Structure 1
Amino acid sequence: MIRPRTALLLTLALAATPALAQQEISKVNGSITAEAGQAYGDLDTVNGSIRVADGATAEDASTVNGSINVGDKARVDSLETVNGSIRVGKDVQVRKDVETVNGSIFTDRGTTVGGRIETVNGAIGLVATQLAGGIETVNGDITVGVGSHVKGGIKVEKPQGFRLNVKRDPRVIIGPNAIVDGPLVFERPVTLYVHTSAKIGAVTGATAKPFSTDTAPAE
């Protein structure tokens, strides 16, 4: 028979277990891996990549020089890097923003992002993704892929300073059955393709070119 005090201590210990499991990992040099199915706090490194395995949970994941890869059905608060790409798997929940400066961002089917997706130099691609905020970039292609819903509009900012080795203007593609609520604002020249089944808000700074094939025309 378990005495009342022993039962109380056992209950408190069991209740504390998840909190203890949410360890924070911070490094200067080296990569970080959040193991599958485990719970973590913040994941921070300066020089190294971050991998959040399938089904893992974490708070903010950030690095300076390195990529971030999030596995299927993982849950994180936010994702941020400076020099590196961010790739998000299927059925992932990101509570806040996904940001990089020099690198691409991709989110796969069933993913939800509660904040914004932003980059400066790098492509952005969404497939069947629900984005509560908007998309913002300067020098990067944007693909709002099939079945995606962007609720905060799209903005492509004007580059600052001199533009060197610019091969072409960014391509912005709104794919089949995609929805972009809010304005699409382009402060620099872009090539905008909008599928005939897509729905978008008001466009400023570009003229939409309709297409009805599975993919946008190649340049």
Structure 2
Amino acid sequence: MTRTRLAIALAVLAAVATPAFAQGQDIDKVNGSITAEAGQQYGDLETVNGSIHLEARARLGDAETVNGGIKGADDIHSRDLSTVNGGIRLGERAQVDGSVETVNGSVFLDRGSRVSRGVSTVNGAIGLVDTDLGGGIETVSGDITVGVGSHVKGGIHVEKPNRHGFSLHMGKQRPPKIVVGPDAVVEGALVFEREVTLYVHDSARIGTVTGATVVRFSTPTPPQR
């Protein structure tokens, strides 16, 4: 192989092996929100006190904040998304090549979204609509809805409130509501270390269940309780 051909081959290999968003500029703040503009490429986005806004078709590395939410429009592409005090909400066809994590906040992923790993929160609801997760779902006190057509490959785990050495001190609370909706699939085990109410649609498929009794339903939405 000539030097020219070898150089071309190496360049093509590098382009395939390196994600496009790795070439973008990092943004790091202490105070203030960050906006990834529509269709633009970024590196990692980090702030302490502020939200992160991802406009349509933005591509980025990790997005991380402490006090603030992460909101993505349609067709965004990222690696890990994480916050401590705030929710994470993504539009349609989001692609996350990592995990989606929050502590105090909800998570919602809209139609056609794909997450390579899992979704987790401690205090907050998790909702999926026609979404594929390569990993599982983990929470302590939040409701979970695996909505119509969604596919979760790593099971569901609802932990004890004080498992990691903290106490939520919430007083008397209703048990978390877990719904596996029409045509949804949850592979792997569904493990519940605390009381929950588990509704599974007749058309859904799930793995083994520990710690809860399955309540089947055939209507578009589960019964009110």
TM-score (norm 2): 0.88
Structure 2 residue runs without a partner (length 5+): 1-14
Q: Amino acid of the residue matched to residue 152 of structure 1? A: G
* Residues 13-72 of structure 1 deviation map (CA, whole Å, 9 limit, x = unaligned): xx9xx7896111100000000000000000000000000100010000000000000110
CA–CA distance in structure 1, aligned partners of residues 168 and 91 of structure 2: 36
CA–CA distance in structure 2, aligned partners of residues 30 and 65 of structure 1: 10
CA–CA distance in structure 2, aligned partners of residues 146 and 19 of structure 1: 31
Question: How many residues are aligned here?
Answer: 204
1:171 Cα offset (Å):
0.2
1:53 aligns with 2:59: no
Residues 21, 38 of structure 1: 8 Å contact kept = no
The structure having more radius of gyration, on CA atoms, is: 1
Residues 38, 57 of structure 2: 8 Å contact kept = yes
Q: Amino acid of the residue matched to residue 91 of structure 1? A: R
SS in 2 for 1:83: coil
> Against the structure 1 CA distance between its residues 24 and 179, is the aligned structure 2 distance closer, same or farther, given a 3 Å change threshold?
same
User: Alignment partner for residue 82 of structure 1, among 84, 88, 92?
Assistant: 84
- Name the residue aligned to 1:153: 155
1:215 Cα offset (Å):
0.5
Moved over 2 A (4+): 18-21, 161-167
SS in 2 for 1:194: strand
CA–CA distance in structure 2, aligned partners of residues 124 and 166 of structure 1: 21
User: Alignment partner for residue 106 of structure 2, among 101, 104, 107?
Assistant: 104
- Name the residue aligned to 1:175: 181
* Residues 77-103 of structure 1 deviation map (CA, whole Å, 9 limit, x = unaligned): 010000000001101100000000000
- Name the residue aligned to 2:41: 39
CA–CA distance in structure 1, aligned partners of residues 35 and 195 of structure 2: 40
1:92 aligns with 2:98: no
1:118 aligns with 2:114: no
- Name the residue aligned to 2:172: 166
1:143 Cα offset (Å):
0.3
**Relative to structure 2, which stretch is displaced further, 109-118 or 154-163?**
154-163
Q: Amino acid of the residue matched to residue 118 of structure 1? A: S
1:146 Cα offset (Å):
0.1
Q: Amino acid of the residue matched to residue 117 of structure 1? A: V
- Name the residue aligned to 1:208: 214
CA–CA distance in structure 1, aligned partners of residues 101 and 50 of structure 2: 16
- Name the residue aligned to 1:186: 192
1:167 Cα offset (Å):
2.5
CA–CA distance in structure 2, aligned partners of residues 206 and 19 of structure 1: 42
1:73 aligns with 2:79: no
TM-score (norm 1): 0.90
> Against the structure 1 CA distance between its residues 19 and 53, is the aligned structure 2 distance closer, same or farther, given a 3 Å change threshold?
closer
Aligned-residue identity in percent? 61
- Name the residue aligned to 1:195: 201
Q: Amino acid of the residue matched to residue 196 of structure 2? A: V
1:166 Cα offset (Å):
3.3
